[in-house]
Amino acid sequence: MSTLKKHIIKRFKILSLLTISMTLSMGLLVIRMKLTQSFFLIFLVWNLFLAAISYAISTFIISKPKISKPSLILSGSIWLLFLPNAPYIITDLLHLKISSNKLLWFDVLLITSFAYNGLMLFFLTLMDMQKLLLAHIKKSIVSYGFPLIFLLTGFGVYLGRFLRYNSWEILNKPIQLLNDSLNILLTPNLHREAWLFTFAFAAFLGIGFSLFSTFQKTDER
């Protein structure tokens, strides 16, 4: 636990900025609830909590001085299961279609602020996992295999947004989830929207992560 505490202290600056950014999002949500007397977008708080789980997992793993490959595979699988929750908040912008015209600009700002936090958590946790994988696997394998994470994330977001699955349903609805996933994978001509969304979203996340990583490396010089 002492190593985790040291690691959190080491990340004090980024955690502080994340806290400030999330506080702003919460504040905007409170203002909206006051103005509209509605709890409609309160689900954004839950979505942001889910978005933080993967970052919490990767922070815990990377703080360990040593980790065995079986432990890394197990914790990495759980990490990957929750990972789509981070960029998923971007799709909450779809709720703008039922927003009142009077507060449309405010709702755009509100949802975008939550989505921004989700993206930051996504990029930060990916950087953690990239470091962990490079410490245990050949660089060439990580370089060529890493894009698969973006595809799996894009597919996971599709399952969550359009088929209404969540991370927990791999436990309570595994057969149904597997059947729906295989149906999309094996009959791509019947599920063009799913494939278009998966590849487009994966490209968006991949390019975003490349930019984020480049900026991060530039700051470290």
Instruction: Tell me the per-residue pLDDT of 128-183, one tens digit each, with 9 for 90 and over.
Output: 999 998 988 888 888 888 999 999 999 999 999 999 998 888 878 889 999 999 99
Entry pTM: 0.92
Tokens 């921004």 locate to 116
CB distance 93 to 109 below 8 Å: no
Indicate the DSSP class of residue 167: T
The pLDDT of 125-129, averaged and rounded, is: 95
**Three-state secondary-structure class, residue 172:** helix
The predicted structure's pLDDT at residue 220: 57
**pLDDT classification of 109: cutoffs 50, 70, 90:** very high
* Res 2: pLDDT: 64
Work out the burial of residue 82: count CB atoms within 10 Å of its CB; fewer than 13 is exposed, 13-18 middle, 19 or more buried.
buried
pLDDT of residue 221: 55
Mean pLDDT of the chain: 92
Q: With contact defined as beta carbons under 8 Å apart, do 154 and 197 qualify?
A: yes
Q: What is the pLDDT of residue 200?
A: 98
pLDDT digits (tens, 9 = 90+) for 207-220: 999 999 998 776 55
Spatial contact of 67 and 148, defined as CB atoms under 8 Å apart = no
What pLDDT, on a 0 to 100 scale, did the predictor assign at position 189? 95
